[in-house]
Structure 1
Amino acid sequence: MFGWFERLIDPFAPGDGKTPPAKIISFYWHYLRQVRGVLLTVCFVGFFVALIEVSLFDYVGRLVDLATESTSPTDFFRDNGRLMLWMAIVVVVLRPGFLLLHDMLVNQALLPSLTARIRWQQHRYVVKQSLSFFQNDYAGRIANRIMQTGASLRESTVQIVDAIWYVSIYTLTALVLFAKADWRLTIPLIIWLAGYIGLMTYFVPRTKRRSLEASQAKSKFMGRVVDGYTNIATLKLFPHAGREDNYVRESLGENVDKVRRMTRLTTTMDFTVTALNGLLIAGMGGLGMWLWHQSAITVGAFAFATGLAIRISNMSGWIMWVINGIFEAIGTVQDGMETVAQPQSVRDMPDAKPLVVTRGDVRFDDIEFHYGKEGGVISGLSLEIRPGEKVGLVGPSGAGKTTLVNVLLRMYDLEGGRILIDNQNIADVTQDSLRSQIGVVTQDTALLHRSIRDNLLYGRPDATETDIEAAVRDARADAFIAQLEDGEGRHGYEAQVGERGVKLSGGQRQRIAIARVLLKDAPILVLDEATSALDSEVEAAIQDSLDRLMQGKTVIAIAHRLSTIARMDRLVVMDKGRIVETGSHAELIAADGLYARLWRRQTGGFVAADDAALSDDVLVG
C-alpha cells in the first residue's frame, strides 16, 4: 500500500528544461502543474475531512437536544439507535479512513517525491549554466538555495492545501450550520472573519517581505561559511582568524537581525489574533445564552455553537503559525528564484545535432568575445589549425589564450564570428558532443571528491580495468596510486581523493588528469599548462606519454616550457586578444619580436632596457 502511493510521483522526472519563471506564482505553477492530479485529490479528501469534523459538532448538539427531550434512557436508545450507529461509523470508519488517505497522499507521495523532483529538476537546470554563472556566486549559496527551495515550495504548498483550504471549508460549513440553528448566530462569526481577514491582509505582506530578507541573509551566511571551508588551506596559510571571524560574524549578525524583525511581527500578530479570538468566544457564548434564554435556540444548538466557536478559535491560532510558515517558505522560494530562475547563457539550439569529427580541423573565423564588457579580450581573431597539427599558444598574461580555449569548448558563447570543427559550427551542435571530442588537461586540476577509479572513469565510463591500468602506467601514476589509503581504510583505486583532490599533491592530481584524458582518447587535445604542476624529473618521465597522447590528434597547447613548445609544429603568439606572430620557435626567435623578448625573459637573458615595457609579461596560461 505504501509503495503504491510512493510511486504516484516520480522524483526523477526530467522536466521540460525551460527557464523557470521569475514571478512567484508562475514559479510555483511551473513545478506544481506536474503533480496537479495528486494536489487536487488532496483538496478533495481535505473537503470531506472538514465536513466530517464539523458534522461531529452538529451530532453532539443533536444528541444533547434528543437527550433532553427523551423521557427515559431506554426510549432514547430505542428511538435514536440508527443515528448513533451512523455517528459511530463516521467516527470509527470514515474519519480515520479519510485521514489515512490524506496522510498517505501527503507523507508518502508529496513530501519525499515532490521535494526530490523539484531539487532534481533545479539541479539539472543549474548545472547547465555557463562557467561565469558559477564564478559569480558562492558554490555553497547555490547548493543551499537548491536544497531549500525544493523543501520550502513543497512545504508551503501542502500547508496551503491542508490549512487554508481545510479551514475555509470548515468556516463556511460552520456558517451554514449556525444559520440553520438561528441566523443571528452567524453575526459573531462574520465579524470575527472580517477582522481575521483584515489582520491577515495587514500582516501577511509584511511577513512575506521580512521572510525573504531573512532567507537572503541566511543564504549569504551559508555562502561565506562554505567559502571558508572550501578554502580552508588558504585560511590557515594566512592566519587572520579575527578577520575571518568578523567576515562570517557580519553575515550571521545580519541574519539574526532579519530574523528578529520577522519574529517581532509574528509576536504582534499572535497577540492580536488571540485577542480577536477571545472576542469571538465571548460574543458567541453571550449571544447563544441570550438566544437560549429567549427560547430561540435549543440547548444542543447553544452547545454546538459555543463548541464550534472554541474550535474555530483554536484553529485560527494554528492557521496564524501556518501562514507564518507559508510565507517564510515563500520567502525562501523567492530567494532561491534568484539562482534557479536565471536564464542559461549557453544553450543548445533546438535543432542541435551531435558533432562528428572525422579529421580534426579547427578554424576560428573572425571571432569576438569580451565577457560582455566594452572592448578587450578577443577581437577579430582568425586562426586555422589543420587536422593533426600541433599548435602552441604563447603570449603575456591576459593575452586571451585561455579564453580562446574556453570559447572553443563553449564555456561561453561568442559575441561575434564563428568556430568551425570539420566545417561544423560549434554553435549548432550539442555541447555534450562537442566536449566529448575534446580532451583537456588544465593547469589547475581539480578532482571530484570520489575514488581514484571514479575520477579516471570520467574520461571513459565504459573503460575496462586493463584500459585503466594502461592509462595510469602511461601517465606514470601507477606507483603512487598503489600507495594511497584514505581515512576509511580504502586503498589504491578505491581511495577517496578529498574535495577538489586535496589529499593528493599537485603533481599527483596532474598525472590523474593526464591518465583520464588518455582514457578519453578524443581527436582534439587541449593542454593548458598541462605539466606546470610537475617537477622536471616527473615531467621528463611522462613526456613520452604526452607524445603518444598527441599522436594523430589536433593539439592546442598553452605552455611556456621548452620541453612542450619544442614539440609543437607551429607557435601562435597572442597579445591583447590578437595574433601578433606565428611560426616555428626558430623563426620567431629570428624575427626578434614579442616572442623573442618573452623567450629571453624566461631564460634569464633579457636586457632591462629592452623589456621595460613588458614588466608584466609572463609566459603563463
Structure 2
Amino acid sequence: MLKLSQWIDSFKPAGGPPPRTLGAFMKWALAGAWPAVFGAFALSALAGATEAGSALVLGMLVDTAAASGDIFQPVNLAVIAGALLFFLALRPITFGLSAAANSIVIQPNVMPLVLSRLNRWVLGQEVSFFDDDFAGRLAQKQMQTARATTEVVSEFVNVVAFALASLFGSVALLGAIDWRVASLLTVWLIGYFALIRYFIPRVRAMSKDRANARAMVTGQVVDTITNVKTVKLFAHDHHEDRAALSAMEVFRGKALDMGYLSAKFRLVLMSWAGVLPVLLIGASLLLMRSGQASAGDIAAAGAISLRIAQMTGWVSFTLMGMYGNIGEVEDGIRTLTPHRRIEDAPDAQDLSVTGGEIRIDGLKYAYGRERGGVQGIDLTIKAGEKIGVVGASGAGKSTLVSLLLRLYQPEGGRIMIDGQDISHVTQQSLRSQIGMVTQDTAMFNRSARENIKYGRPDASDAEMKRAAEAAEADGFIQHLQDFAGRKAYDAYLGERGVKLSGGQRQRIALARAILKDAPILILDEATSALDSEVEASIQSALDHAMEGKTVLAIAHRLSTIARMDRIIVMDDGKVTEAGTHTELLARNGAYARLWARQSGGFLGLDAAE
C-alpha cells in the first residue's frame, strides 16, 4: 500500500503542451493528481458536515436536559455516550484525516508536480523566447504559477469543500427545526454569494496586475545583480537603484489597490455576517414563543448562526486569497505557455554521423524580418574538412551556426549531415554529435569538475583531468578556492563563471569540448579571450581536438583560421568568397582587404615602436 505522501507522483510528465485557458491549464497541471484531490475534497467535506453535526448534538443535549431536568440520569447515558463519542473520537478523527490529506498528500506534492511540468516546458522553448525576457522574471513566473496553483487546490480542498458541506448541513438541520428558519438562512446565503460574485472578479484582476508588477521587480533586481560588474564600472549604482525603486513603486501601487479592495471586501462581508445571528436566533425565539421550537432548537440555531458568522470571515478571506492566486496563475499562463519551440518531427530518428559531411542548400533565416540573418546560402563541408568563417559583425556567421544546431527553424532551404536532413532527426541526437566553444562561454555556478564534465557527464575523473590538461586549464584550476573552502576541481566558479577571467572560462569550455569528443566541432571565437602566448600553448590541444573532425571555426582574428583547409567570407547573410588562405589573398577581394587591414595595423604598430 502506498504511503500518503506517495499518492501523487510528484514528477510525472504532463501530456502535451500547457493550455492557455485557466480550466484547461488546471486540468493539464494536475493530471494524475485528481483522484487524490477528490479524495481530500471528500474528507474535507466530511469534516465540514461534522460542524452541522456539532450543533445537532448540542441541541439534543439541551433538549434532553430540559425534558428530564437532569442530564446525568441513567436514562440519558446513551445520549451522553453518543455526544462523548462524537466530540472525542469521530470529530477529531475526521478533522485529522482531512488535515493529513491536505498537508501530506496535496501541498508537498502538487507544487513539485506543477513546477516540474512548467520547467520542462520552458526549457523546451526556442532560444528567442529567453532572449525576449528577463531570466529572473521567467524563474519567478514558474515559481509563482506552481505556488499559486498549489494554493488554489489546497484552499479549494481545505476551505471550499469544508464550507459548502457545513453550509448545506446547516440548511438541512435548520430545515428540520422549521422551514422558515432554513429559508432565512437561504436568503442570507444568496446575499452572501452575490457579494462574493461582485468582489471576486475585481480581486482576480488586481491580483493578476500585482503578480506582473512583482515579477518585474524580480526581473529588474536579478538583471542588475547579474550585471553588477558593469554597474560598478560605470558607477551606475544610483541609476540602478532608481530603476529598481521605479519598479517597486509600481508594485506598491498595485499592492495598495489590492489592499483597499481587500479592506472593503472584509468590511462588507463581516457586516453581512452580523445580520445572520440576529435573523436565526430572533426567528427561533419567535417560534419558541408560539410553542413551535424547543430550547434545543434555539441552541442549535444559535450555534449554527455564530459558527457561520465566524466562518464567513475565514471563508471570505480565503476566497479572496484563492482568487488572487487564480489571477497569479493566469498571469503565469500568459507568460509561460506561448508555443515558441522547435518540435521534433513525428517520425524523427536519431542522427547517425558516419563521416561528418555538412551540406547546406538554399538556407534562409531572417528572424521574421525582410533582411538580416542568412540569405540563400549554398555550402558543402566535406567530412573531416576544417572551414574558417570570417566576415563583419552582422554578416550572418552566428546565425549560420545557430541554424546548424537547430536553435532556430530555417525559413527556407535545408541542412544535411551525412545525407540526413537535420529537421528530420531528433534535436537531442543532433546536438550530441556537435561540440562547441563560444566567445561568450557559459559557466554554471557549480564545481569546475561539473562544468567540464558537462561535455560528457559519464566521463571518469581521469578523463576529465586529461581534457583539462589538454586545454591548459589544469594549472589555474589547481589554485582555485571558493567562499566555502572548496579547492581545485571541487571549487565553485560563481554565477556564469564570474570568478574566472575570460581566458580561463574559454579554457574550461575547450576542456568541455575536448571531453565531449563529438565528430563535428564548432569554434565560435573560441580563442578570442586568450592572449597570444596562451593561444599558442593550446594550439596543439586545438589541433588534437580538431583531428578527424569536421570543423567550422568563426574568428575575427584571421591568424587563427589561416591554417584551415578552406575559408569562406560572409557579407550581408551571403557567402561572397571561398577558398584557401593563399587563394583568397591572390584573389585580392574582401578577405585580402581584411587581412591587409589586420596585418597592416600590426606592422604599423611595429614600425612606430
The answer to whether 1:390 aligns with 2:386 is: yes
Contact kept in structure 2, 1:19 and 1:342, CA below 8 Å: no
RMSD: 1.4
Between Structure 1 and Structure 2, how many residues are aligned?
602
1-structure distance, mates of 2:31, 2:440: 43
Per-residue CA deviation, residues 249-300 of structure 1 (Å, 9 max, x unaligned), is 1110000100111111111111111111111111222212111111110011
1:590 Cα deviation from its structure 2 partner: 1.6
- SS of 1:504's equivalent in the other structure is coil
Taking the aligned partners of 1:560 and 1:293, their CA distance within structure 2 comes to 100
Contact 1:440-1:525 at 8 Å conserved across structures: yes
Taking a change above 3 Å as real, the CA distance of residues 562 and 368 of structure 1, as seen in their structure-2 partners, is closer
What per-residue deviation string (whole Å, max 9, x for no partner) do you get for residues 112-155 of structure 1? Answer: 11101111111111111111111110000011111111111011
CA distance in 2, matches of 1:507, 1:376: 31
Q: 1:28 aligns with which of 4, 26, 29?
A: 26
Contact conserved, 1:482 with 1:492, CA < 8 A, in 2? yes
The residue that corresponds to 1:63 in the other structure is: 61
CA distance in structure 2 between the partners assigned to 1:336 and 1:536 by the alignment: 49
User: Which of 399, 406, 409 is the equivalent residue of 1:403?
Assistant: 399
Instruction: Please say if residues 19 and 344 of structure 1, whose CA atoms lie closer than 8 Å, have aligned partners that are also in contact.
Output: no
Contact 1:437 1:522 in 2 (8 A): yes
Deviations 1:173-219 (A, max 9, x none): 11111111111112331221111111011100000000000000000
Deviations 1:332-367 (A, max 9, x none): 111211232121321112222111101100011111
Q: 1:233 aligns with which of 229, 232, 251?
A: 229
* SS of match in other structure, 2:360: strand
Aligned to 2:344: 348
Which of residues 150, 162, 168 in structure 2 aligns to 1:166?
A: 162
1:15 Cα offset (Å): 2.1
Q: Deviations over 1:455-500 (max 9, x none)?
A: 0111111212221121111111111111111111111100100000
Instruction: State how far apart, in whole Å, the 2-side matches of 1:516 and 1:585 are.
Output: 29
- Aligned counterparts of 1:4 and 1:475: Cα–Cα separation in 2: 51
1:285-364 aligned within 5 A: 285-364=281-360
Q: Which residue of 2 aligns with 1:493?
A: 489
The 2-side partners of 1:435 and 1:98 are apart by 55
Q: Is 2:253 aligned against 1:254?
A: no
Which residue number in structure 2 is paired with residue 616 of structure 1?
A: none
Instruction: Please name the residue that 1:214 is paired with.
Output: 210
Q: 1:62 to 1:116 in 2, by over 3 A?
A: same
**Alignment of 1:598 onto 2:594:** yes
1:88 Cα offset (Å): 1.7
Q: CA deviation at 1:9?
A: 1.4
CA separation of 1:329 and 1:72: change in aligned 2, threshold 3 A: closer
* Identical residues among aligned pairs (%): 42
Partner of 2:514: 518
Q: Distance in 2 between matches of 1:237 and 1:335?
A: 36
- Deviation for aligned residue 1:514: 0.4
Partner of 1:614: none
**Residue 276 of structure 2 is aligned to residue 280 of structure 1:** yes
Q: 2:266 aligns with which of 264, 267, 270?
A: 270
1:7 maps to: 6
1:408-439 Cα deviation digits (max 9, x unpaired): 00111111111110111111111111111000
CA distance in 1, matches of 2:484, 2:336: 36
Match of 2:50 among 49, 52, 76: 52
Which shows bigger deviation, 241-250 or 398-407? 241-250
Matched residue of 1:393: which SS? strand
Greater displacement, 84-93 / 524-533? 84-93
Q: CA deviation at 1:563?
A: 3.6
Shift of 1:71: 4.3
* TM superposition outliers: structure 1 runs of 4+ over 6 Å: none
1:552-608 CA-to-partner distances (Å, cap 9, x unmatched) read: 0000000133442122000111101111111111111121211122222222369xx
- Counterpart CA distance in 2 for 1:360 and 1:77 is 97
Secondary structure of the structure 2 residue equivalent to 1:604: helix
- Which residue pairs with 1:97 in the alignment? 93
Contact residue 43 and residue 98 of structure 2 kept, 8 A: yes
Give the match's secondary structure for 1:33: coil
Distance 1:270 1:96 in 2: 30
Residue 72 of structure 1: CA displacement? Answer: 4.1
Q: Gaps spanning 5+ residues in structure 2: where?
A: 603-609
Is the CA contact (8 Å cut-off) linking 2:14 and 2:28 kept in structure 1?
Answer: no
Q: Which runs of 5+ in 1 are unaligned?
A: 607-621
**In 2 relative to 1, CA 77–342 (structure 1 residues): closer, same or farther, beyond 3 Å?**
farther
Question: Which residue number in structure 2 is paired with residue 462 of structure 1?
Answer: 458
In terms of mean alpha carbon deviation, does 344-353 or 124-133 score higher? Answer: 344-353
Amino acid at match of 2:54: L
The DSSP-based 3-state class of the residue aligned with 2:496 is coil
2:552 to 545, 552, 556: 556
* Amino acid of the structure 2 residue aligned with 1:253: E
TM-score, normalised relative to structure 1:
0.95
Specify the SS of the correspondent of 1:557. strand
Q: Is the 8 A contact 1:476 1:541 kept in 2?
A: yes
Q: Report deviation, 1:7.
A: 1.3
